[in-house]
């Protein structure tokens, strides 16, 4: 299992903290069962942190007629909305909720040119809150594909997520399936698609980033 680069520092700090806390627990007078419980809790927490930053090796089948899922998680919304940040048209919104147990890498759903990128500071409402897409900390990118179709992807921080990482840069080209960001801990990714796309997922469906087909043209 590979570890994502965003986890290197956190895992190192956690390892050092583990090395400090275990001897400290030994010095504190407490029942043996409680001491063992603390050890188990520390080790489970460390394993969880390592697992959170896992980076799976998933081949991607390049097909520009398909929109691939940008994140692991569960589909929590499929609805027609008016996108009012950049494209300013009616679009199909597909939202993927990412629990702390999911892989938190984000991948490009299509190939194209990044015509817009903006970071928005904000609140940390729970990721499924209706206002989280407009009030939470978030990053927005727009990709224009070879056919001139524009797709908007929004990384949204949640109650636990306190740092959104976006590698996308306005004006740069990106390839379908390429990694464009990472969200630390629970969060959400919103995908806004042109109305002519046919949605291939359902509400509450579990999806895999870089693998599940969200829609087809």
Verify whether residue 187 is a known catalytic residue: yes
Top CATH class of 66-216 equals mainly beta
pLDDT at 194: 95
pLDDT at 200: 97
- In which residue ranges of the chain is pLDDT below 50? none
Identify the bridge partners of residue 58 per DSSP, sorted by sequence position: none
The pair of structure tokens assigned to 105 is 């890498």
pLDDT at 160: 57
- Give me the catalytic one of 132, 133, 139, 187: 187
pLDDT at 134: 64
pTM of the full predicted structure?
Answer: 0.85
């Amino acid at each position: 299992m590979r570890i994502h680069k965003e986890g290197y520092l956190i895992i190192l700090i956690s390892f050092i903290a583990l090395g400090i806390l275990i001897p400290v627990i030994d010095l504190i007078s407490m029942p043996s069962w409680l001491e063992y419980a603390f050890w188990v809790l520390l080790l489970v927490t460390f394993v969880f942190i390592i697992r959170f930053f896992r980076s799976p090796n998933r081949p991607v089948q390049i097909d520009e007629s398909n929109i691939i899922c940008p994140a692991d998680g569960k589909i929590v919304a499929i609805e027609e909305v008016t996108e009012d940040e950049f494209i300013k048209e009616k679009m199909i919104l597909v939202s993927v909720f990412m629990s702390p147990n999911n892989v938190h890498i984000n991948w490009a759903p299509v190939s194209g040119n990044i015509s817009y990128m903006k970071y928005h500071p904000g609140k940390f409402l729970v990721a499924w809150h209706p206002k989280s897409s407009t009030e939470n900390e978030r990053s927005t990118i727009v990709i224009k594909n070879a056919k001139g179709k524009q797709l908007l992807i929004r990384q949204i921080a949640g109650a636990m997520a306190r740092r959104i990482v976006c590698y996308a840069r306005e004006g740069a080209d990106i390839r379908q399936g390429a990694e464009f960001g990472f969200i630390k801990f629970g969060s959400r990714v919103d995908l806004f698609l042109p109305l002519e796309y046919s949605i291939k997922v359902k509400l509450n469906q579990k999806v895999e980033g870089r693998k599940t087909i969200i829609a087809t043209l």
